[in-house]
Structure 1
Amino acid sequence: MKTSVLVVGGGLAGTSAALFLAWRGVDVVLVEKHPGSSLHPRAVGFNARVGELLRAVGLEGELPVSRMTKGFGVRRVRAESLVGKKYDETFWTPPAQLSDIEYSPSKGVGVAQDKMEPLLRDKARELGADIRMSTRMLEFSQDGDGVTAVVQGDGEPYEIHADYLIAADGHRSPIREQLGITRTGRGFMHTSRSVLFRAPLQEYLKDGIGQFVIDDVGFLTTYGDGRWVLMLDDREYAEPELRQKIVQAIGRDDLEIEIITTGRWTISAGVADQFSQGRIFLAGDAAHTLPPSRGGFGANVGIEDAHNLAWKLAAVINGESRPSLLDTYDAERRPVATLCHQQIFARNDGHNRDGEPEDAPLIDNNAMHYGVLYRSDAVLGAGPELPRAQLPEQWNGQPGTRAPHVWIEPGKSTLDLFQRGWVLVADHPQWEEAAAGLNVHYERVERLDVFGLSAKGASLVRPDGYVAWRSTDLPDDPTGTLKSAFSSSSAGTR
């Protein structure tokens, strides 16, 4: 069979890639070796930037609002037990300055990974993605015309020929290994055991603390749905001992405890030294293994990988852009992953027991979520002198950054204008005339100040909602200037 894009791996990054591609009308097949999501919830608490991406594809309204949005559950303390004495609180980022700026029309998503993945799968299928669970990729090869994969489900092996392949096959990534792509980072850190259990402990979350470093036991945290996980040292535990550890961590022995499952986890950190090779692209954990952190970098960054790559693949497959645009995926997303790796180890987030802290300035979490800078040939005017991330109000519409949010009418944000295609934001008839001859939609916006523009300026926003170029004022030749900027940024070449 043939398809435009084959996605290998049905975790968060792979399923998101299938969703975003299908939403853009791209023929996509996803294969996943497991029949469904893992029993372990793993990630929980997706940030508001991911909420924005799901808002665009019509999924945000179906998801619960996160308890993380008001800081509930993300505080961490040392404690003798859940119900016992609390010691010092662990702060993982400098206290943010009080601000009345609203960064996003969306909120965080408070759902565990094992609940999120089926929601993404169902939406992807609804939009036309062909998702094949219990289907394993046996081998693959690529040439100048595409990628050929041999896969097997319940029956005989068969071939799938795709124009492109997205490897979202996890942190061990057989595809990355076969391609010979190396990784840079902390590497192996430690191995932990876990026990996932259910217990009626909601009353102990009222003060906003949801993460507990329990003396002489381990790390206890909640998924906000009645399920808790206790992380322990790496050794074998019989069920009676697990129950004893849970009781010790809680500090009560009079509650009904249901053990759901156990696990063994290898904690490591690394970023692939290249995110693509030929027609194959790495995404999610295959591209970057980022340990669990209260910045939520692992899962959120993987979903954003998929979003960045989807519009570029769609543009190339549909003949709107040259294949050189795909080179900007590595140029834009790999520095973000590297920065996240740095920030995890610069923060006091529980990982520094495995080595010295990273000697780097801490970046505000809002800057990491909404203010990372893309430098690539698909951006005009993002020079090396600029910081890698800062708050949106500091960027003020700088090319290479996410377009700023401001309400333009009740319930409608500037961000709702973007993500379907190229958009020119302006409030002048000459810019409207300039956009008319291009594959660019003109949007009249009065609040040009948040884009760093004068009343006669204009910003060109990419299909992923990032600013590709701007003219702070009206040039002598608006049509020629816009045409040149659009030609360069949409093709990924200068």
Structure 2
Amino acid sequence: MKTSVLVVGGGLAGTSAAMFLAWRGVAVTLVEKHPGSSPHPRAVGFNARVGELLRAVGLEAELPPSQVTKGFGVRRVRAESLIGKKYDETFWSPPAQLSDVEYSPCKGVALAQDRMEPILRDKARELGADIRMSTRMLEFSQDDDGVAAIVQGDGEPYEIRADYLIAADGHRSPIREALGIGRTGRGYMHTSRSVLFRASLDEYLKDGVGQFLIDDVGFLTTYGDGRWVLMLEDREYDEAELRQKIFQAIGRDDLDVEIITTGRWTISAAVADQFSKGRILLAGDAAHTLPPSRGGFGANVGIEDAHNLAWKLAAVLNGESRPSLLDTYDAERRPVALLCHQQIFARNDGHNRDGEPVDAPLYDNNAMHYGVLYRSAAVLGAGPELPPAQLPEQWHGQPGTRAPHAWIEPGRSTLDLFQRGWVLVADHPQWEEAATPLGVQYERIEQLEVFGLSEKGASLVRPDGYIAWRSVDLPDDPAGALAAAFRTSSAGTR
């Protein structure tokens, strides 16, 4: 069989890639060796930037109401038990300065991974993606024209031929290993055991703390849906021992506790030395293994990888852009992964027991979620002198950053103008005349100041909602300036 893009791996990154590609009309097939999501929820909590991406594909209304309250699930304290004495709160970064700036029309989503994955999977199928669970990739090869993969489900092995392959096959990534792509980073840190259980403990979450470092026991946190996980030292436990550990962590033994499952987790940190090789592109944990952090870098960054890849693959496959545009995937996303790796170990986030803290500037959470900078051939004007992340109001519409949010009318954000195709934001008739012959959508808005523009300026926004180029004022030849910028940034070459 043939498909445009083959995705290997049905976790958050792989399923998101299939969904975003199908939404853009790309023929995509996903194979996943497991029959469904892991019974252990793993990641929990998706930031508002991911919420924006899901809003664009029409998923926002389908997500269950968020249970996130201010700081819920993110604040962490040391404690003798859940109901016992609490000690100092541990901050993962300096508390953010209070600001009146509204960064997004979306909120974070407090949903466990095993609940989010089926929602993404169903949406991908609804949009036309071919999702094949219980299907394992046995081998693959690539040539100048595409990728061939041998896969097997319930029956005999068969071949899938694709133009491109996205490897979203986890932190061990057999595909990455077969390609000979190395990794750099902190590496292996430690191994932990976990027990997932259900208990009625919501009354102990009223103060907004959702993570607890329990003396002489381990790390206790909630998934916000009645399920809790207790992380323990790496050894074998029978059920009686697990219950004893749970009761010790809670601080009482008179509650009904349902043990759901257990797990064994290898905690490591590494970023692939390259995110692509030939026609194969890495995404999610295959590209960057980032240990759990209160920045939510692992799952969220993987979904954003998929989003960055989807519009570029669609443009290349549709013949709108040269294949060189795909080179900008590594140029844009690998520095973000490296920055997240740095920030995890620059913060007091529980991982520095395995080594010395990194001496590096700390970036505000909002800067990491909304304000990372892309430098690539698909961006004009993002020089090496600029920091890797800032708050959106500090960027003020800088090319290489996410287009800023502002309300156009009640319920409609500037962000709702983007993510389908190329958009020119301006408020001057000469810019509309310049955009039309290029097939660039023209959007007239009055909130030009948040883009750092004068009343005669314009910003060119990419299909992923990032600013490719801007002209702060009206140049002598608006049509020529826009055409040159569009030709360069959409091709990914200079």
In the superposition, the TM-score normalised over structure 2's length comes to 1.00
Partner SS state of residue 84, structure 1: coil
State the match for 1:484 in structure 2.
484
State the match for 1:277 in structure 2.
277
State the match for 1:362 in structure 2.
362
State the match for 2:94 in structure 1.
94
Partner SS state of residue 372, structure 1: coil
For 1:191-202, list aligned pairs within 5 A. 191-202=191-202
- Whether contact under 8 Å (1:69, 1:107) holds in the other structure is no
How far did residue 67 of structure 1 move?
3.4
How far, CA to CA, are the matches of 1:114 and 1:371 in structure 2?
28
State the match for 2:187 in structure 1.
187
Q: Deviations over 1:338-372 (max 9, x none)?
A: 00000000000000000000110110000000000
- Whether contact under 8 Å (2:17, 2:303) holds in the other structure is yes
- Whether contact under 8 Å (1:31, 1:137) holds in the other structure is yes
How far did residue 186 of structure 1 move?
0.4
Is 2:293 aligned against 1:293? yes
How far, CA to CA, are the matches of 1:343 and 1:67 in structure 2?
27
How far did residue 62 of structure 1 move?
1.1
How far did residue 447 of structure 1 move?
0.6
Partner SS state of residue 255, structure 2: coil
- Whether contact under 8 Å (1:68, 1:74) holds in the other structure is no
For 1:180-259, list aligned pairs within 5 A. 180-259=180-259
How far, CA to CA, are the matches of 1:68 and 1:265 in structure 2?
26
How far did residue 73 of structure 1 move?
2.1
Partner SS state of residue 438, structure 2: coil
How far did residue 66 of structure 1 move?
3.2
How far, CA to CA, are the matches of 2:60 and 2:469 in structure 1?
29
For 1:81-480, list aligned pairs within 5 A. 81-480=81-480
**What is the one-letter code of the residue matched to 2:196?**
L
In the superposition, the TM-score normalised over structure 1's length comes to 1.00
- Whether contact under 8 Å (2:69, 2:208) holds in the other structure is no
How far, CA to CA, are the matches of 1:69 and 1:473 in structure 2?
42
How far, CA to CA, are the matches of 1:69 and 1:189 in structure 2?
32
For 1:18-97, list aligned pairs within 5 A. 18-68=18-68, 70-97=70-97
How far, CA to CA, are the matches of 1:346 and 1:64 in structure 2?
34
How far, CA to CA, are the matches of 1:409 and 1:188 in structure 2?
50
How far did residue 72 of structure 1 move?
1.5
State the match for 2:9 in structure 1.
9
How far did residue 64 of structure 1 move?
2.7
Q: Deviations over 1:454-488 (max 9, x none)?
A: 00000000000000000000000000110000000
How far, CA to CA, are the matches of 2:107 and 2:191 in structure 1?
33
How far did residue 69 of structure 1 move?
5.4
Q: Deviations over 1:405-451 (max 9, x none)?
A: 00000000000000000000000000000001002000001010000
Partner SS state of residue 311, structure 1: helix
**What is the one-letter code of the residue matched to 1:200?**
S
How far, CA to CA, are the matches of 2:225 and 2:67 in structure 1?
11
How far, CA to CA, are the matches of 2:340 and 2:115 in structure 1?
25
Partner SS state of residue 18, structure 1: helix
How far did residue 60 of structure 1 move?
1.0
Q: Deviations over 1:254-309 (max 9, x none)?
A: 00000000000000000000000000000000000000000000000000000000
How far, CA to CA, are the matches of 2:140 and 2:209 in structure 1?
47
How far did residue 104 of structure 1 move?
0.2
- Whether contact under 8 Å (1:76, 1:213) holds in the other structure is yes
How far, CA to CA, are the matches of 1:68 and 1:271 in structure 2?
30
**What is the one-letter code of the residue matched to 1:100?**
D
- Whether contact under 8 Å (2:378, 2:492) holds in the other structure is yes
Partner SS state of residue 384, structure 2: coil
How far, CA to CA, are the matches of 2:312 and 2:238 in structure 1?
50
How far, CA to CA, are the matches of 1:80 and 1:403 in structure 2?
45
- Whether contact under 8 Å (1:22, 1:127) holds in the other structure is yes
- Quote the sequence identity (%): 88
